[in-house]
Amino acid sequence: MYSASDLRPGKKFMMDGSPYECVSYSQKVMWRWGSIINIKAKNLLTWATIPKTFSDHDKFESADITMNNYDYLYNDGENYYFMNQSTFEQVEINKNALWWAEDFLQDWDKVMLQEYNWNPINVQLDTVAVLEVIETPPGEKWDTATWWKKPATLNTGLVVQVPLFIKVWDKLKIDTRTKEYMSRA
């Protein structure tokens, strides 16, 4: 059991019968009356983020979220298919649940899936993805400036702004949290 004062960003807990993850946390001490705790919590099943206020006496159960290694196989337009690396069991996750990750998933990528009650609910990606440029305007020979940018389409369909010296077939490191160019791979 957690008390509300134990909640911190990243902590997973049960509230109203659903698993939640604490996104932000602030505490205000009210002297004799204890503390007021304000959090933003993300529902791990619906992805809705809600603000909540608790006293430091409120209690929560831990959410039974497990992480397992999977290989990303393919998507059929509706669902994404993954294979467990140890049992070779295949699972699917609806496209609506992975809308934020589809720009980074490539066939046979190794990923971690979050599972709740043995059902996959989310994918956890590395913070850096290596993707290949398939289309970008040509740069001139003297374009070595790194502060000017041009658009580049990557092999997953993601379009990012890159320096002028980047060309087709270059492999780039992309930050999966911000969807921004980091460097060449």
Mean pLDDT of the chain: 88
Query: 74 with 114, same domain?
Result: yes
Do residues 13 and 22 make contact, with C-beta atoms less than 8 angstroms apart? yes
Tokens 């709740």 appear where?
116
The count of structural domains within the chain is 3
- CATH number of the domain encompassing residue 58: 2.30.30.30
Choose the final residue of a domain: 62, 92, 114. 62
Query: What residue numbers bound the domain in which 139 lies?
Result: 128-184
pLDDT digits (tens, 9 = 90+) for 24-72: 999 998 877 788 999 999 998 887 899 999 988 899 998 888 889 999 9
pLDDT digits (tens, 9 = 90+) for 126-156: 889 999 999 998 876 665 555 688 899 999 9
- CATH number of the domain encompassing residue 91: 2.40.50.140
Q: Please give the share of the chain, as a percent, with pLDDT higher than 70.
A: 95
Q: Looking at residues 102-127, what average pLDDT do you find?
A: 87
Tokens 């001490």 appear where?
29
Closest CA to 3 of 62, 50, 64, 66: 62
